[in-house]
Homo-oligomer: A and B are copies of this chain.
Amino acid sequence: MKLLQEKILKEGRIEGSDILKVDSFLNHQMDIDLLNEMGKEFKRRFKDKKITKILTIEASGIGISCIAAQYFNVPVVFAKKSDSRNLDKEVFESKVTSFTKGKDYIIKVSKRYLREEDDILIIDDFLANGQAIFGLKDIVKQAGSNLVGVGIVIEKGFQNGGKILRDSGIQLESLAIIKSLENNQIIFEEKKGEENK
């Protein structure tokens, strides 16, 4: 998505060889006009699909999911993060390993809000190793819901989450795919996903 790539080039800050900070518009301060354009683009990429609910994870997936949900006319459910597993029969839980934070945490979704008859689109801001998405996917499976696809704002194409998801046959749509952050330069992948309008 051209507009997003331009914003990343203009405002993204590289740290080390693999961290891209986009907190001026995506995950600390949020540019609501850009979020709307991204929401429309997710709708375009999943336009023929039946979707009854968007599933995301706190905190930085919530903004884009709520804005995108307006184009799908569906509610949003966000998974909550917790340090500890307490045996709660009313929630679906999955363990997620965070490589960046070097620890495990548990994500939870109330059983009230995911049903067998739901067709789920997972949306999140970033995809790297894919651990958070695998956790959400596991929860969708526990609920017996149908996973329609995954929408990501920025995929780090040099990490393996995207490849694993695509190889498993899931429709993964990333609005921008970063090929490399080396030498303090942002290089986009232009091939994968649908066309980059």
Query: A residues bordering B, Cβ < 8 Å?
Result: 23-25, 28-32, 35-36, 58-59, 62-63, 66-67, 69-70, 73-78, 80, 109-110, 112-113
With a CB–CB cut-off of 8 A, which chain B residues contact A36?
A: 70
B75 contacts A28, CB within 8 Å? no
B63–A76 CB distance below 8 A = yes
Q: Which B residues are in CB contact (< 8 Å) with A69?
A: 30, 32
Residues of B within 8 A of A66 (CB): 30, 32, 35, 62-63, 66-67
Q: Which partner residue on chain B sits nearest A110 by CB separation?
A: B28
For residue A91, which residue of chain B has the nearest CB? Answer: B28
Instruction: For A110, list chain B residues within 8 Å (CB).
Output: 23, 28-29
What CA separation (Å) do A58 and B32 show in the bound complex?
17
A77 and B113 contact, CB distance less than 8 A: no
Residue in A24, A63, A70, A80 with the greatest tally of chain B CB atoms within 10 Å = A63
Q: How far is the CB of A53 from chain B (nearest CB, A)?
A: 8
Contact of A28 among B24, B32, B67, B113 (CB under 8 A): B113
Nearest chain B CB to A38's CB is how many angstroms away? 12
- A75 in contact with B31 given A63-B62, A67-B66 (CB within 8 Å): yes
Given contacts A35-B66, A66-B67, 5 further A-B contacts (CB under 8 A): A23-B112, A30-B77, A32-B69, A62-B66, A63-B63
Set of chain B residues within 8 Å of A29, measured between Cβ atoms: 75-77, 110, 112-113
Chain B neighbourhood of A70, CB < 8 A: 32, 36, 67
Using CB atoms, name the residue of chain B closest to A57: B59
Enumerate chain B residues within 8 angstroms of A59, measured Cβ to Cβ: 58-59, 62, 78, 80
Which B residue sits closest to A25, measured CB to CB?
A: B75
Bound CA–CA A58/B56 (angstroms): 14
A-B contact pairs, 8 of them (CB 8 A): A25-B75, A30-B66, A30-B78, A32-B74, A59-B78, A62-B66, A63-B76, A67-B70
